[in-house]
Structure 1
């Protein structure tokens, strides 16, 4: 077992029993969010490296947005 896992288990065991489940659930949710963010960044960087990304022109975007007829 890794040092980080051992420390996590130790920390959870120090909590009152009625708090352990909630703390473990929170930690798991944060880890999943981190993993999803890392995947999104990796995908974005792959797009940049493959040349599938173009610079975004804010002025052009605003000009086009303002030109859209409003109903």
Structure 2
């Protein structure tokens, strides 16, 4: 087991038994969110590197939104 995993186990063991399951689920949930966020960021950088991203013009967006709202 890695040092970080050993520390996590030790920390969970220090908690009262009735809190351990909830704490472990929370840690797992946060790790999954981190992994999903990292994957989304990596995909975004891949899009930039592949030229699939264009600069966003806020003024143009607002003009289009205003035009749509007038219809």
The two structures have a TM-score, normalised by structure 1, of 0.96
How far apart, in 1, do the equivalents of 2:6 and 2:69 lie? 60
Per the TM alignment, residue 9 of structure 1 is displaced from its structure 2 partner at its CA by 0.3
The structure where helix makes up a greater share of residues is 2
Q: Number of paired residues? A: 71
The match for 2:11 is 11
Structure 1: stretches of 5+ with no match in the other structure:
none
* 1:46 partnered with 2:43: no
Structure 2: stretches of 5+ with no match in the other structure:
none
User: Which structure 1 residue ranges, 4+ long, deviate > 2 Å from structure 2?
Assistant: none
How far apart, in 2, do the equivalents of 1:36 and 1:25 lie? 16
